[in-house]
Structure 1
């Protein structure tokens, strides 16, 4: 997957379905953290492109780190953007933070496992990548893109209907 943007498609769909029970900001932060190691390999030319960070063990550690840092980064971001809930700053519950971070890191490993031969998702227990080629890469890209578009449409439709309902009442 080219860095984060394609990974955000499924996240946008999840956000539209779970609404306030999911943080797209924490999910996105997790995508960025997941791809720091491959970025370093691309820049330096040293190391395994999709190494330990693209295993489920590595994804677990990244989810914990991303949750701890992402909660505060997201809350500061919401404050800077003046996004509040009835005039009070939004705080993201820890369970939402970790749900978002774990969905972010595990989905990242799954999506990259489908398209990259060097991903070993079950390392150190197995070097096999049983997901490789599960679907064609072009279809994977379309699924990510269309899930993002469908999620955005659904999200804004729900918000529009809720806003209209409050306006009518």
Structure 2
């Protein structure tokens, strides 16, 4: 299903580990961009549900687009939410933006490859999906959910610990 929140679980874990070297907003934007093509197919009933956007070649192009647009959208979102760093607006560096978009698009292809038979992750070089059902869909959902919960616990646990050290 397009725009599934399960993709965000691993992103939250990565954010908790990489902190300022990873943008969860750019990662999330990339998840949305990845699923625009399947959404169009669901609405129109025409096309390949998990088509070119769900290949690693397509994911590379999506990552570039998501990075270029996501940097400015994320910085605007942070400004609207009034999230600052020492009172100044946050600027996300380009290397963080690209890293976050690449991780977002490639992880999306991997996760969807495990659960969707129509994904051809290595197209046009290979037409089969070697990741299909390497774990059950139920287990995949649990891994995504638990990685998000663990990531949130790490992120807020470190923030709580550091807040106590500052005082």
State how far apart, in whole Å, the 2-side matches of 1:110 and 1:37 are.
17
Gaps of 5+ in 2: none
Q: CA deviation at 1:166?
A: 0.4
Q: Give distance in 1, aligned partners of 2:163 and 2:47.
A: 51
Q: Which residue of 1 aligns with 2:65?
A: 65
What is the Cα deviation at residue 68 of structure 1?
0.2
Structure 1 residue ranges, 4+ long, deviating more than 3 angstroms after superposition: none
Find the aligned partners of 1:101 and 1:131 in 2 and give their Cα distance: 21
Asked whether 1:50 is paired with 2:50, we answer yes
In the alignment, the residues of structure 1 paired with residue 27 and residue 19 of structure 2 have an alpha-carbon distance, to the nearest angstrom, of 13
TM-score (norm 1): 0.97
How far 1:3 moved relative to its partner? Answer: 2.5
Give matches, 1:153-168, under 5 Å: 153-167=153-167
- Are 1:4 and 1:28, in contact at CA under 8 Å, matched by a contact in 2? no
Separation of aligned partners in 2, 1:90 and 1:58:
30
In 2, the alpha carbon distance for the partners of 1:142 and 1:2 equals 18
Which residue is equivalent to 1:76?
76
Q: For structure 1, which runs of at least 5 residues remain unmatched after alignment?
A: none
Name the counterpart of 1:116: 116
Query: Does 1:127 find its partner at 2:97?
Result: no
1:39-86 deviation line (CA, Å, top 9, x unaligned): 000011000000000000000000000000000000000011111100
Which residues of 2 match residues 137-152 of structure 1 at below 5 A? 137-152=137-152
Does structure 2 conserve the Cα–Cα contact (< 8 Å) formed by 1:29 and 1:70? yes
Q: CA–CA distance in 1 between the matches of 2:42 and 2:23?
A: 29
**What TM-score do the two structures reach when normalised by structure 2?**
0.98
